[in-house]
Amino acid sequence: MQPIQIAEPATNRQNTAHLSYLLQSPHYTIATLCNSSLTAAYTAISSHNIPPTTKAYASPEDLALDSDIDLVVCSVNVRKHYALIKPALLAGKDVIVEWPLGASLAEAVELAGITKEKAFKEMLEEGRIGKVLSSTMVGACNYYSGVEVTGVEYHGYRVWRQYEIDAVLHVLGEFESFQSMLGIKRPYTKFLNHDGTVKVEALKKTTPDQFMVQGELSSGAFVSSHFRGGYPFPGEPGLLWHICDEKGKVRVSCDDAFLQIGLFDPVLRVLDHETSLVDVVKLPKEEFESLRRENRYIARLYEAFAKEKTRI
C-alpha cells in the first residue's frame, strides 16, 4: 500500500505528539505543510526535520487544491480550526482535527455538516457488564491551585475537561439531556519563576477552576462529572471513574486527571455483585514504547486511520 500523503496546516506545540510518530511511520508521508507565509512554512520544515521535499503553502485554500493530498491534519489553536480545515473538507479530503472541532457550536455544526456521517459506537462486549445505570467521574487537575510556575498562564481548563467527558460519552453513549456549571473559585493566581521567585503576585484569572456536568444518557443512565483545580488528596488518584451496572461496578483510577494523554497507566477493576469478587483487568500491552508516553495516543489514532479501524 502506498503511504498516505499528509498535509500539516502549520506547526505548534503538538509537533512532538504528531511528528514523532509520522516521521517514522511506513503508513504516512508528510507531503505538504501550510503556515502563515511561505517563509514560515519553509522554516518549520527545516526546524522540525521534516523531509526537504515537503511542499510549502501559505494558505489553506491552496493546500486544499493539491490533488496529491489524502489527509489533512490540524492540531493548532482551536480558534484557527474553522479557517484551516473548511477548504479541505469542501475539497473532499479526509481530515484529522484536534478536539474540539470548532471554536463555537455553530462552527462545529457547519464543519460536521460538510462531512459524510460516520458512526462509531462503543459496544459493551461479552455480557460481562450489565445495563449501565449510572456513572460518576471526579478529578483534580494539578493546576489552578492558587500558586503556579510560569508557563501555564494560558492553559485552557474548559477544553481539557471536555476530553474526559468525551471519553465517558464514547464508552456509554450520548446525552439525552444535561446541565453544566463552570466557576472561578480562586480568582487570583500567584505565578512563580522556575527558580521559585515571584513573577506575578496576583494574576486575575479568566479560566474556570471548577467544571461540573450532569445529565441523562439516551440509554437512560445518569452521568455526573466534577473536575476541580488543585491537587488530589494525598494517596488518592487524580481521576476516579465509577460505572454502576446491573451486574456490578467498574472502577477506573489514574494518578493523573488527563486520562486521554496516558502519562500514567490507569487501573481497571470490576466488581461482580453475585460473587462479591473484584477483578483487576489486565489492559492490552502498550504499543509504541519508543515514543514518549504523551505521544502514544496520537500514534494509535494514526494507526487506526491507516488500517481503517473503527475503534482503538
- What confidence tens digit (pLDDT) does each residue in 14-27 have? 556 788 788 888 88
Is the pLDDT confidence value at 162 over 80?
A: no
Among 265, 227, 219, 226, CA closest to 245: 219
- What confidence tens digit (pLDDT) does each residue in 187-203 have? 888 888 888 888 888 88
Average pLDDT for the chain: 79
Is the pLDDT confidence value at 95 over 90?
A: no
Per-residue confidence (pLDDT) for residue 8, from 0 to 100 = 64
* Highest mean pLDDT pick, 148-157, 172-181, 186-195: 172-181
Per-residue confidence (pLDDT) for residue 40, from 0 to 100 = 86
Is the pLDDT confidence value at 205 over 90?
A: no
pTM comes to 0.65
Domain 4-118+290-306 sits in CATH at 3.40.50.720
Grid coordinates given for 124: 459493551
User: pLDDT over 70 for what percent of the chain?
Assistant: 83
- Domain boundary assignment for the chain: 4-118+290-306, 132-281
Q: Higher model confidence: residue 217 or residue 290?
A: 217
Is the pLDDT confidence value at 264 over 80?
A: no
When pLDDT is cut at 50, 70 and 90, the band that residue 123 belongs to is very low
Q: Higher model confidence: residue 253 or residue 296?
A: 253
Question: What kind of architecture, by CATH, is found in domain 132-281?
Answer: 2-Layer Sandwich (3.30)
Per-residue confidence (pLDDT) for residue 51, from 0 to 100 = 83
Amino acid at 213: V
Average pLDDT (29-33) is 85
